[in-house]
Structure 1
Amino acid sequence: MHLGGVPSLGSSFDDKIYHFIAYFLFTVLVYNYCKVRQFKNANVISAVVVIVYGIIIEVLQQTITSYRTLDIYDVFANALGVVVAISTLKFRTKLKLK
């Protein structure tokens, strides 16, 4: 798929890398919002919200557009970005506690 204006990384799976990065950053933003609002389970809330959002977007691409399709590998790349973001945030929190 052509990403229109996004620089190529030179691989056949550039879009998956971009999905990973976008959902990593999206998770960090949602997590920070949850922390500012003092939600008790910021990790879980962030992960669930962002993963569900990603799935909904993929399904909508398939159902309401004629030029986009659902790609299960995009969902996996999104989820991996979420998992790595939450893991990074947990690790960072543990380092701050020491």
Structure 2
Amino acid sequence: MLLITMLSLFSFSEISLDTGGLNIPYADKITHFIFHTVFVFLGSLAVRERTRGQIGIKKATIMILVLAIIYGIIIEVLQYTITMDRHAEFGDVLANTLGAFAGIILIRWLFSKEKPLKWKF
């Protein structure tokens, strides 16, 4: 989380990356989506692990979903208020939110009633 926060708030305008003419439309939105999908997926598992299974997977996913959405909004607000060359975008917040919901769908699909998540402590 610290690395993503730093990458989101620091300027990289001096760094020039040669992409070799590769142009991926909406690459930044795809990155936001994937990050928040992974954030919710791993975060939910981490909450379950830290609480030794006392918090159910449903409650863990909802907690992490809310945290991921709030985190995404805070990063965009910080980009708008404290950075000079970074821009806050509603599209980023939307990509973050959709990615967070995708993380919930992924974890619930992988650990459905047919394949329950078993915790041994």
- Alignment TM-score > 0.5, same fold: yes
Paired letter, 2:105: S
Between the aligned partners of 1:45 and 1:62, the Cα distance in structure 2 is 26
1:96 aligned counterpart, secondary structure: coil
Asked if 1:45 corresponds to 2:58, the answer is no
1:9 is displaced (CA, Å) by: 6.6
1:10 is displaced (CA, Å) by: 3.4
1:81 is displaced (CA, Å) by: 0.7
Asked if 1:79 corresponds to 2:92, the answer is no
Asked if 1:29 corresponds to 2:42, the answer is yes
Paired letter, 1:96: K
Equivalent residue, structure 1, for 2:75: 57
Asked if 1:96 corresponds to 2:109, the answer is no
Paired letter, 2:79: Q
Runs of 4+ in 1 over 4 A off after TM superposition: none
Unaligned runs of 5+ in 1: none
User: In structure 2, do the counterparts of structure 1 residues 93 and 18 end up closer, same or farther at CA, with 3 Å as the change threshold?
Assistant: same
Equivalent residue, structure 2, for 1:17: 30
1:11 is displaced (CA, Å) by: 2.8
TM-score normalized with structure 2 length: 0.69
User: In structure 2, do the counterparts of structure 1 residues 84 and 63 end up closer, same or farther at CA, with 3 Å as the change threshold?
Assistant: same
- Percentage of pairs with the same residue: 35
Unaligned runs of 5+ in 2: 1-12, 117-121
1:27 is displaced (CA, Å) by: 1.2
